[in-house]
């Protein structure tokens, strides 16, 4: 199985168009690398590919990497489908940019499909352009993706109940609103976990990640009060559906107890001091055996 991170930033990217935080200014001056919105592409066999989330940057992301370029005929794509972990705008708006395709398959839990059908109305709009097959993922039964001689099993784990803001304020949490994905290569036994939005460090999540070989995990905010402290707004990390990296209840200490050979933070907000390679925060997480992923990171497992 091949993996490629198409982007590693949270909503707004780095630099964010209207932000003058230290990291956005550093990215504008080429002192740190710019980052596209967070998305993972994986291929069971190196030929057909699946996207986990479709970001507003999706067409540039697909153009950047040769393995995702058209492969045959005047119009084609190796992308077989898109898997959604939630209904947030920075993970679903790219679906509209994929309307030029003839057909593809969307995979998502029922609650997320309902958001796109009745809340954002993305799916009704897309059906005017493309033959899109919608497959509802089960929380209990894994999905089998067989490509050639390779076989990959996809299993979901609940990671949060936070709902996108476009659904309104009357129902701010719902079971099944956020998911992590565990990919198991049945030919090698390797397991890869991708969880870009985690609102709770649950026992179910720990149990599923305990035997993972690679973990790509929510690193959105360094601290719970990151945005209020910068004067950006009153929302805390936890109120936005993200466990912060630092602190006694943060993800860093929790992840450090897991045995995966690679543990990397993804979905990193532009305000997060982890983006500075010279920061004390980056040094601290590296001391725990954790890393910060960058756009284009790849691995074959």
**What are the sequence ranges of the domains in the chain?**
2-294
Specify the pLDDT at position 71. 86
Closest by Cα among 59, 35, 82 to 293: 35
Phi and psi torsions of 252, nearest 5°: -65, -50
Specify the pLDDT at position 171. 62
Distance CA 147, CA 161 (A): 33
Answer whether the bond into residue 15 is a cis peptide, omega within 30°.
Answer: yes
pLDDT averages per 10-residue partition of the chain, 301 residues: 98 98 98 97 94 98 97 92 98 97 95 96 96 96 86 96 87 86 95 98 95 98 98 96 97 98 98 97 98 98 92
Distance CA 172, CA 176 (A): 12
pTM of the predicted model, to two decimals? Answer: 0.97
Instruction: Tokens for 124, please give them.
Output: 């009704």
Question: Do residues 154 and 194 lie in contact, with contact meaning Cβ atoms separated by under 8 Å?
Answer: no
Per CATH, which fold does 2-294 belong to? Metallo-beta-lactamase; Chain A (3.60.15)
Specify the pLDDT at position 257. 97
């Amino acid at each position: 199985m091949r993996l490629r991170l198409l982007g590693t930033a949270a909503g707004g990217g780095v630099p964010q168009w209207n932000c003058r935080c230290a990291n956005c200014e550093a990215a504008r001056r080429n002192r740190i690398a710019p980052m596209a919105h967070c998305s993972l592409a994986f291929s069971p066999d190196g030929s057909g590919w699946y996207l986990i989330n479709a970001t507003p940057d999706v067409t540039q992301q697909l153009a950047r990497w040769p393995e995702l370029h058209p492969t045959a005929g005047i119009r084609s794509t190796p992308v077989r489908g898109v898997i959604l972990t939630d209904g947030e705008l920075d993970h679903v708006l790219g679906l509209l940019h994929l309307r030029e395709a003839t057909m593809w398959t969307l995979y998502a839990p029922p609650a997320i499909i309902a958001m796109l059908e009745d809340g954002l109305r993305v799916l009704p709009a897309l059906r005017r352009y493309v033959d899109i097959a919608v497959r509802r993922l089960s929380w209990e039964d894994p999905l089998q993706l067989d490509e050639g001689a390779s076989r990959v099993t996809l299993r979901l784990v609940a990671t949060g109940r936070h709902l996108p803001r476009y659904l309104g304020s009357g129902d701010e949490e719902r079971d099944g609103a956020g998911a992590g994905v565990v990919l198991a290569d049945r030919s090698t036994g390797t397991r890869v976990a991708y969880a870009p939005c985690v609102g709770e460090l649950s026992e179910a999540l720990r149990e599923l990640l305990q035997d993972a070989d690679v973990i790509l995990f929510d690193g959105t905010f360094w601290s719970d009060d990151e945005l209020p402290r910068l004067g950006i707004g009153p929302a805390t990390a936890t109120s936005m559906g993200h466990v912060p990296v630092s602190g006694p209840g943060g993800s860093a200490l929790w992840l450090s107890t897991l045995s995966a050979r690679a543990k990397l933070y993804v979905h990193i907000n532009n305000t997060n001091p982890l983006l500075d390679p010279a920061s004390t925060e980056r040094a601290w997480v590296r001391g725990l055996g954790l890393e910060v992923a960058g756009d284009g990171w790849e691995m074959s497992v």
